[in-house]
Structure 1
Amino acid sequence: MKRFISILLVLVLVFSLTACGQNTNTGNEKPAGEEPANETPDTETEAGLKFTPGKYTASAMGMKGDVTVEVEVDETSIKSVKVVDNVDTKGIADAAIEVIPAKIVEGQTLAVDTVSGATMTSFGILRAAEAALKDAGADVSLLKVKTDKKELSQGPAQDYDVVIVGSGASGLSAAIQLTKDSDLKVLVLEKLAYPGGSSRVCGGGIWAIGGSVINKNVGVDYTADEYIEFMETLGGTTLNRDLMRNIHKVSAETFDYLVEKGLLVNVTNKSLGHPASNFPVAWSNVNSTVKYNEGYGGKSIMDFIYELALENGAEVRLNSKVTSLVVENGSVKGVNVEGLDSKYTVNAKKVVLATGGFTRNVEMIKELAPDYASVFAFTGAGSTGDGITMTRDLDTVIVGEGMMGLTGYNPNYGYYGAEGAIARKGQIYINKDGKQFGAEKAFYGETLALFNNQTDHMAYAICDQNNSDVEGFENGVKAGIVTKADTIEELATKLDVDKDAMIQTVKENGLEYGPYYAMEVRPLFIGSIPGLKVTENTEVVNSKGEVIPNLYAVGELTFGNTFNDYYPSSGTGMGTSIYTGAIAARHIVAQLSK
């Protein structure tokens, strides 16, 4: 099997992560790399740079906390820049940590573009480097002079059998299945600087049904009809039953192939994705080697799937944004692409859209899920609804309602990590009226709507000294995200909550041992549900029910076909993505073999 690796781990100017943004500037200060609005570019360059030789260390706010950078200089140049400490999300921050320091040294400049998908970590590195260089005696204004960006050149058209847009679980699954038993020329295009999509920051679990190795090991499984009935009962609507039967058909073989190739997941532990389901979830082995609040295994699973796609022969290009589809007489013939240096067309016999959801597109949320317009996202940075946007002119149909989510503190901490995890460890949850609203007994997928429906779309996690993670709440106090008080009366006053109601609620639940803690908890997105209507083979259809020739959609872009209203079970996001990717691949191989 051929191995063709084309990876472009370099910089690209990215949209600002508005939902995750955190402005650490004051007054008129600008982030490193941004030219002040009224400043005329200095004509002096490296000739004017002077440093006091030595090593200098400084820190600045990244995504979740401080990024610490060590800079070494001699009298006239920057010798090295190293990130020596950071707490940002592994697998996301890594791209910025690898690229930004190298670009500072290479260009002897702080006028460096942020890394696509890791904007806040990029800014943190640049700000910390700027502070360190100031300590070294540098005139940083000389280091922040920007050069004019070159226009993208027009590159030659390229030809592939299949082009896949997006390198999340569904896109890479399609690439794996397309290349494992065929010689098809397959190209995966990813607009960010790293692969993985939202799956890279997910919980790291996959369910399987239909007789897979985990079903046999734990004695839990679904028939196709049982799977459909469970999802339709929870979602309250009729779903795409033909597609779901196909998912049931391919699940076991697809899952077992990944396990045989070395996917490190637990296939012997009986962990159900929903307490009322028969979905056994295979969790990443990483999850059992670290504390719960230190993170999840989505990164480890996606690293494996990415490497397997490359091993099987798929080509993956990062920093390559698909801007539109090439359509001729109603048939999709390829895609138009913008890379770092050039724009070009890729002609393809089949196009697979694996672009993910729209949790980071506020206008699309207002359109397709308006009840959730105030909710923040804890998803991949590329979840901007590209697949929906690119197909609007093709008269596509949107199916599904609701959003996928749970609860957390804010966009920086999300729902895991030392800070984010404690948002779900309250003994009780109260709203601003001091009353409970059913959050304690709800399945976590239902808490998105529960919290969203409270006053100001938030509530408080409350606990006393009997809590299982008092240490975590104490750390939250130190981080400034948890409120602590000796009495409930004092805590109610600090929170501006109805005092009498809160006292009564706490008393009814037996919280008697102060000091007490409260953490603000808000609903957060882990994905979107509305998406493109597809056939049982994931072919995209128009409003007349006609297949749009050569166009497929998989993964989160199609979730509305297979579940509805809220996230139904752990393992559903990654499982459905992997299996729909496999379905598309099988159909394409069959079509191109004719």
Structure 2
Amino acid sequence: MEASRRAFLKGATALAGAGVVAGLAGGCAPARQQGEGRAGDALQRARDEFEAAAAPIPPADPPETWDETTEVLVVGSGAGGVNAAIRLSQAGYRVLMLERAEEPGGNSKHSSIFSNFGGHRLAEEAGWAYPSYPYDVDRIVEFVLDAQQGTGDPELLRAMAQQGPRCIDWMMDEAGAKWRPMNPSPAGNGLLEWEGMSTPTNGVNVNLVPMRLLTEKAIDEGVELRLNCNVTTLVYDGARVLGVKATHEGVERFIRATRAVVLTAGGMEVNRAMMSRYSATVLAGIANIATPPNGTGECIRMGQGVGADLAGYDSTGAFDGGVWWQDYDQYETTMDCRINKDGNQAIRQPWLRINRLGQRVAFISSSATTYPYNPNAAPSSHGLCETAAIEMAQPGGKTYVIFDSKFDDLVSKNYFGQVICRKAKVVAEDDPFIERVPAWLRDWHTGFDMMVEAGAIKKCATVRELEEALGLRTGVLTNAVQKWNEACAKGEDHMAAFPYKPEWMIALEDPPYYGVAVGGHVFGSKCGLRITPQMQVVNTEGAVIPGLYAGWHTAGGSSGDGNPAGKPLTGMYADLGLSFVGGYMAAGAIMAEDGRGD
């Protein structure tokens, strides 16, 4: 919701209060009722808009005449869309890929690694798989189901485990992908990155260049890409999805898909109204969204409009350390989006971490165990997601992270041995790939200073002042710091679970003092359209909706239900890899039905 609307609603509430005071003071009951009425109207409008933002989008009836026709319509040009489009075009289909933005790539441009469990050619050459080698689909499905407490779809997970390695090899052989292990250890094959995305000083891993190259590959293969084309609804005759209604450059068009419509336009994570309906138990702990405001849920609502069921309730893909830049109004429809990959790294360290009760909040290291740091940890190391779930579950959805002026030196030299997106980076000026990294992401200090200047991170001369700035009750922080410093002096942590090792016990005694409220840093929703292992969308009676397919994150269910941070590591293929695999699988299912191969 726009700031102006927030201000209006708050102003309306304040106006109502003023009316009450005036009425009591002057005996003017009509004025009080009038003020309450205006505030009530504003709140009702906000409530109605909130409900409308989550409502299914009804389909359009087939037109008498279609404006154009293709074989397969792919909605969305991110990782899932581009993979589906390339594979289908190579198989001989006429493909039209629609993108509502001015540029292709979606959230995938701002994503990171292709997480996986092995089974692909690079992993086989290294003799690595997880949870054990050789690559075992049965073992992987059991492992993931255990992480999801048995709430996932075993058949869907099996299809994912079978198709994922083939997707990676196909991308390298047929789509021009340049996947490389993230590090030289065997386990590095479980964290694939595009060649050139990491150098000794550069590991930000934004995929601007890879997505551009894949888009160029799609166009070279004959895919028609149409930008600034907003799909507004599906076209449905009551039995089959026939195409879409879209607006391109202000002109409404009905586009027929003779074979299939493939929805790969992201999830619902930015749509707070949808999240409140389908992921209500985790919403209170989501601080912000770690991507641009793309996942607004329209494709999911379109699917619901033709009767689609949902899967993946109360599940997201989240990492720890999402900064609470703002609190949300009750009927605010849009989540706060912050692409801040290297500003919050200073926060995501084993500092003093408490909740509003003053209780310590656990920190799980980004290796397979809390400590010591293990460079050969599995790609599904649980630190990032587990810590996110812990932070999201705290009273009020907030964890308070406290540190002092020593942080800069400790973070700069990675004293705590954290990895991946917890390791703060400074890209050297002579780095050969520096141009691949946006200027403001080249030094972690930049994002950190932005948060301090905006007041998201509090900076105070005393602990008492910091306690007040964070809005904590008197004594909560001061007592916690006193206990912490006493434990540091003894070199023995009093944490009830996951205690810090002695080297991490660093007293808070060098002002200025810093504090920040954190919660879930969500990369994608995991609730979306229910699909079969063939990526066909299913209705609420369990039947396939002919002509309609979905890839992640428009599809749901990849992380089961009730999985607040998407354990393990936001899903079998995390977020970027999941999108690539979903597009690959959707294309493959269409091809298999038609008797076509790669």
What's the TM-score once normalised by structure 2's chain length? 0.67
Report the secondary structure of 2:268's partner residue.
Answer: coil
Native 8 Å contact 2:112 2:576 kept in 1? no
Identity %, equivalent residues: 25
The letter of the residue matching 1:555 is: W
Partner residue of 2:484 out of 505, 514, 519: 505
Report the secondary structure of 1:167's partner residue.
Answer: coil
Native 8 Å contact 2:81 2:97 kept in 1? yes
What per-residue deviation string (whole Å, max 9, x for no partner) do you get for residues 85-125 of structure 1?
A: xxxxxxxxxxxxxxxxxxxxxxxxxxxxxxxxxxxxxxxxx
Partner residue of 1:369 out of 275, 279, 287: 279
- Match in the other structure for 2:241: 332
- Aligned: 1:523 with 2:520: yes
What per-residue deviation string (whole Å, max 9, x for no partner) do you get for residues 392-434 of structure 1?
A: 23322111132222232234644413x3332323523222333
Taking the aligned partners of 1:412 and 1:395, their CA distance within structure 2 comes to 30
The letter of the residue matching 2:74 is: I
**Higher RCO (CA-CA < 8 Å; seq separation 6+):** 2
- Match in the other structure for 1:447: 387
Partner residue of 2:361 out of 429, 437, 444: 437
- Match in the other structure for 1:469: 411
Cα distance, 1:578 vs structure 2: 1.2
What per-residue deviation string (whole Å, max 9, x for no partner) do you get for residues 187-215 of structure 1?
A: 11111222222222222334253233234
Native 8 Å contact 1:189 1:317 kept in 2? yes
Taking the aligned partners of 2:556 and 2:126, their CA distance within structure 1 comes to 28
- Aligned: 1:160 with 2:70: yes
1:483/1:271 Cα in 2 relative to 1: closer, same or farther (>3 Å)? farther
1:403/1:271 Cα in 2 relative to 1: closer, same or farther (>3 Å)? farther
- Aligned: 1:550 with 2:492: no
What per-residue deviation string (whole Å, max 9, x for no partner) do you get for residues 493-539 of structure 1?
A: 54454121332134325332512432332323211111222111111
Taking the aligned partners of 1:552 and 1:396, their CA distance within structure 2 comes to 11
Partner residue of 1:251 out of 160, 164, 168: 164
1:303/1:217 Cα in 2 relative to 1: closer, same or farther (>3 Å)? farther
Taking the aligned partners of 2:264 and 2:81, their CA distance within structure 1 comes to 5
Taking the aligned partners of 1:295 and 1:211, their CA distance within structure 2 comes to 24
1:268/1:359 Cα in 2 relative to 1: closer, same or farther (>3 Å)? closer
The letter of the residue matching 1:573 is: D
1:557/1:290 Cα in 2 relative to 1: closer, same or farther (>3 Å)? farther
Taking the aligned partners of 2:305 and 2:471, their CA distance within structure 1 comes to 50
What per-residue deviation string (whole Å, max 9, x for no partner) do you get for residues 526-585 of structure 1?
A: 111112221111111222322111111111122414544132226421222211211211
1:389/1:432 Cα in 2 relative to 1: closer, same or farther (>3 Å)? same
The letter of the residue matching 1:157 is: D
Partner residue of 2:142 out of 195, 219, 229: 229
Aligned residues between the structures: 442
1:521/1:187 Cα in 2 relative to 1: closer, same or farther (>3 Å)? same
The letter of the residue matching 1:556 is: H
Native 8 Å contact 1:433 1:501 kept in 2? no
- Match in the other structure for 2:81: 171
* CA RMSD, 1 decimal: 3.2
Partner residue of 1:382 out of 294, 298, 310: 294
- Match in the other structure for 1:482: 457
- Aligned: 1:196 with 2:191: no
- Aligned: 1:538 with 2:539: no
Report the secondary structure of 1:469's partner residue.
Answer: helix
Cα distance, 1:239 vs structure 2: 2.2
The letter of the residue matching 1:482 is: I
Taking the aligned partners of 2:543 and 2:109, their CA distance within structure 1 comes to 34
The letter of the residue matching 2:154 is: R
Report the secondary structure of 1:388's partner residue.
Answer: helix
1:541/1:251 Cα in 2 relative to 1: closer, same or farther (>3 Å)? same
Larger CA deviation: 544-553 vs 207-216: 207-216
Report the secondary structure of 2:179's partner residue.
Answer: coil
Partner residue of 1:217 out of 123, 126, 137: 126
1:70-469 alignment runs, 5 A limit: 157-180=67-90, 182-207=91-116, 209-217=118-126, 219-221=128-130, 222-260=135-173, 261-267=175-181, 269=183, 280-289=190-199, 295-348=204-257, 349-374=259-284, 375=286, 376-401=288-313, 402-406=315-319, 407-409=321-323, 410=325, 411=336, 413-417=338-342, 419-425=343-349, 427-441=351-365, 443-467=383-407, 468-469=410-411
Taking the aligned partners of 2:127 and 2:184, their CA distance within structure 1 comes to 6
1:270/1:575 Cα in 2 relative to 1: closer, same or farther (>3 Å)? farther
The letter of the residue matching 1:511 is: I
Native 8 Å contact 1:205 1:298 kept in 2? no
1:212/1:586 Cα in 2 relative to 1: closer, same or farther (>3 Å)? same
1:27-38 alignment runs, 5 A limit: none
The letter of the residue matching 1:251 is: G
Native 8 Å contact 1:435 1:502 kept in 2? no
What per-residue deviation string (whole Å, max 9, x for no partner) do you get for residues 137-158 of structure 1?
A: xxxxxxxxxxxxxxxxx99611
Native 8 Å contact 1:163 1:334 kept in 2? yes
